[in-house]
Amino acid sequence: MQDTINYDEFNRQLIQNKIGITAAEFHGFLSGILAGGNHDESWRPLVSDMLNNGQAIVEPLAEQITRLYQLTKQQFSEDNFEFELLLSHHDLFTQIDDLVGWVNHFLLGIGLAQPKINHLKGDVGEAIYDLRQIVKLGYDESEDQQELGFAFEEIKEYVRITAMLCFDEFNEPDIATTIH
């Protein structure tokens, strides 16, 4: 398995297959499902329902989706905080739009995996509230692009850390028991 997914190629496959979301939105949805603690094969029908009205997804897109699922799960599970958001590398405004779409779909995915997400207290509850506020953010294209770029990077990092916080909250660590 490759260690990365090419955003533009994955986005092209989604468009070719008439899937109405971007690669960033899809990754946000998948990340939300994983962060919410769903690790069995029930993620597949959720994805089919979300992308294709419950119909089977054609190859090679289905293969690419499985690779993205495995890579995302691996990144979440590693101790060195390698989880990354799958966002466009195009202009700043496209990246901002991708980030908002990623967060919106992350909230959808985690909401499916954790139906009582609205009732959480503590750090995770506050983080989910913050994500809901991030979705409402806007920008003016006449704003100073350097300042906007700095703000984007800070918010992107906060979203990344929040996704990992949610994963840690809703996923039990693998505990290996030794029998003597």
Q: Long-range contacts: 66-73, Cβ < 8 Å, 24+?
A: 67/1, 67/2, 67/5, 68/5, 68/10, 68/26, 68/27, 68/30, 69/30, 69/34, 69/43, 70/1, 71/1, 71/2, 71/3, 71/4, 71/5, 72/27, 72/30, 72/31, 72/34, 73/34, 73/39
Structure tokens at 12: 């092209």
Contacts of 87 (CB under 8 A, 6+ apart): 7, 24, 95, 98, 99, 102, 156
Percent helix, strand and coil across the chain, each to the nearest 5: 65, 0, 35
To the nearest whole number, what is the mean pLDDT of the chain? 89
Superfamily of domain 7-170: YgfB uncharacterised protein family PF03695 (1.20.120.740)
pLDDT for 127 beyond 60: yes
| Whether the predicted model's global pTM rises above the 0.75 cut | yes
Are 149 and 92 in contact by the 8 Å Cβ rule? The answer is yes
In the prediction, which pLDDT does 118 show? Answer: 80
Domains of the chain by residue range: 7-170
In the prediction, which pLDDT does 80 show? Answer: 81
Across the range 71-98, mean pLDDT stands at 92
Measure Cα distances from 29 to 39, 113, 150, 155 in Å.
Answer: 14, 11, 25, 18
What digits encode the pLDDT tens for the residues 14-64? 999 988 899 999 999 999 999 999 888 889 888 888 877 767 788 889 999
